[in-house]
Amino acid sequence: MKTRIAVAGCTGYAGGEILRLLSVRDDIEIGALTAKASAGSPLGQHQPHLSALADRVVADTTVENLAGHDVVFLALPHGASGEVAAQLGEDTLVIDAGADFRLRSAEDWERFYGTPHAGTWPYGLPELPGQREVLAATKRIAVPGCFPTTVTLALAPAIAAGLTDAHDTVVVAPTGPSGAGKSLKPHLLGAELMGSASAYGVGGVHRHVPEMLQNFRRLGAANPTVSFTPVLVPMSRGILATVTAPLATPLQAEDAHRTYADFYADEPFVHVLPPGQWPMTQSVLGSNHIQVQVGVDAAANRLVAVAVLDNLTKGTAGGAVQSMNLALGLPETLGLTTWGVAP
C-alpha cells in the first residue's frame, strides 16, 4: 500500500526538492500540491524540472485540501505552519520544513522571529544521539535549518567527546541564494550576485544562531557561544561551513580525526574524509550527503572542522524525507543518495 503525501508550498525551492526526491519512489503517491499566490496554475510553470508533475494544478493551501493524507509536508514561510498544523489530525504525520517548531525556547523564538511561539516538535536531525528513536515514535517533526544542520554535524563529535566545550565557537559559512527562497530580493538578482561575495546577518542576528546553540547544549556543551557569519556567494545551492572552537586540552590532528571517524562510522549520510582531503560543495550537490573534515590549529589551540552539504537536500528536503522514513518505520536511506553531481 502506497503512502499518500501532500506538499504545502509546492512551488518554492523546498517544496520542489521534496517532490523531486519523492516523485521517483514506487511506495509514494503524490496527493495534494498546494500554495497560496500560485493556486490555480500548473506546477510546471513553477517547477519545470518536475516534468512528470508538470500538468498538476496547484490547489489552495487549506486544511480541507491537505486532510486525508498519510504525510503532509509544510514548506511554508516562517510563522505560517502553526495554524495549518493545529488543524491536521493527530494520525497524520506532519513534517514542517520551516522554522516554526524548531526552538524549545519561546523567548529565543520571539527575539529572533518576532511572532508568538507555536510550540516545539521533535527535531528532525537523526544524527543527534538518541534522535532516531524519538523520530520513530512521533507524528510531528521539525526539520532543522540548513546552517544548523551543517554546523551541528561539523562540531558534534568534538562536543560529545569533550574535545571542546563550544564556548567561543566561530563559524564562517558561504552559501548560495536558494536558501533565501524564491521571493524577489534586489541583492539576490543575478546582476548583483554574479562575481561577488557578501556577508549578511552579521553580529549574532541570524535566525539560526539560537538553533545552533540549542544543538550544542543537547550534545553536552554547558555554556556554548557562537559568532556566526554567513556569506552569500554566486552558486545556486550549497553550504561550506568552517567551524573553529577552543580545545579543552592540546590535541594532535590525527586524534581529532580518529574521534570524528569513530563518531560517524555507522552514519549513512555523514562521511569523514581521509586526512588531508577537504570538503567541496560540488561533491554533495543534489545528494543527502554531508562531508566533514577536521584539523587542529596548534598555535591557536583551536579545533577546525569543515563541513559541506546541499542546503536544499540534506539541509532541508532530504533531511525531511530521511526523518519521514524513520517515522514510517522504513529504511532511513530509502530514496536518498550520497552521490553528488560534479562538476
* Pick from 116, 47, 108: nearest CA to 79: 116
* Pick from 301, 284, 309, 298: nearest CA to 127: 309
Q: What is the mean pLDDT of residues 102-125?
A: 96
Contact 121, 141 (CB under 8 A): yes
Residue 32 pLDDT level (bands cut at 50, 70, 90): very high
Contact 118, 101 (CB under 8 A): yes
Residues with Cβ within 8 Å of residue 143, at least 6 apart in sequence: 95, 96, 97, 98, 102, 124, 316, 319, 320, 323
Taking the C-alpha atoms of residue 77 and residue 8, their distance in angstroms, rounded to an integer, is 10
Cell triple for 14: 523546498
Taking the C-alpha atoms of residue 285 and residue 279, their distance in angstroms, rounded to an integer, is 12
Q: At residue 73, does pLDDT exceed 90? A: yes
Q: What is the mean pLDDT of residues 58-67?
A: 97
Cell triple for 177: 541564494
Entry pTM: 0.96
Output the pLDDT for position 185: 80
Residues with Cβ within 8 Å of residue 230, at least 6 apart in sequence: 147, 173, 174, 175, 199, 200, 201, 206
Taking the C-alpha atoms of residue 17 and residue 8, their distance in angstroms, rounded to an integer, is 12
Residue 193 pLDDT level (bands cut at 50, 70, 90): confident
- C-alpha to C-alpha distances, 321 to 59, 87, 252, 335, nearest whole angstrom: 22, 22, 37, 8
Helix axes of 106-113 and 209-218: crossing angle, nearest 10 degrees = 160
Sign of the four-CA dihedral 246, 282, 285, 75: positive
Length of the chain: 343
Q: What is the mean pLDDT of residues 255-278?
A: 98
Three-class secondary structure of residue 251 per DSSP:
coil
Cell triple for 339: 552521490
146 belongs to the catalytic site:
yes
Q: At residue 314, does pLDDT exceed 80? A: yes
Contact 147, 228 (CB under 8 A): yes
Output the pLDDT for position 141: 98
Q: What is the DSSP letter of 315?
A: I
Beta strand 3-8 with 71-74: parallel, antiparallel or unpaired? parallel
Least confident of 24-33, 75-84, 101-110, 212-221: 75-84
* Pick from 12, 11, 9: nearest CA to 72: 9
Q: For residue range 17-31, list pLDDT tens digits in order.
A: 999 999 999 999 999
Mean pLDDT of the chain: 96
Choose, from 146, 239, 270, 309, the residue flagged as catalytic. 146
Q: What is the mean pLDDT of residues 96-124?
A: 96
Q: What is the DSSP letter of 57?
A: B
Q: At residue 41, does pLDDT exceed 80? A: yes
Q: Cα torsion for 68, 319, 209, 182, to the nearest 10°?
A: -70
Q: For residue range 80-91, list pLDDT tens digits in order.
A: 999 999 999 999
- C-alpha to C-alpha distances, 330 to 3, 4, 325, 335, nearest whole angstrom: 11, 14, 5, 11
Taking the C-alpha atoms of residue 299 and residue 312, their distance in angstroms, rounded to an integer, is 36
Sign of the four-CA dihedral 160, 164, 168, 173: negative
Taking CA 36 as the corner, what is the angle to CA 42 and CA 208, rounded to the nearest 5 degrees? 115
Which percentage of the chain shows pLDDT scores above 70?
100
Which percentage of the chain shows pLDDT scores above 90?
93
Sole residue written with cell 549574532: 204
Q: What is the mean pLDDT of residues 113-134?
A: 97
Q: At residue 187, does pLDDT exceed 90? A: no
Three-class secondary structure of residue 283 per DSSP:
helix
Three-class secondary structure of residue 36 per DSSP:
coil
Residue 217, Cβ density class (10 Å: 0-12 exposed, 13-18 middle, ≥19 buried): middle
Contact 236, 175 (CB under 8 A): no
Q: What is the mean pLDDT of residues 105-124?
A: 96
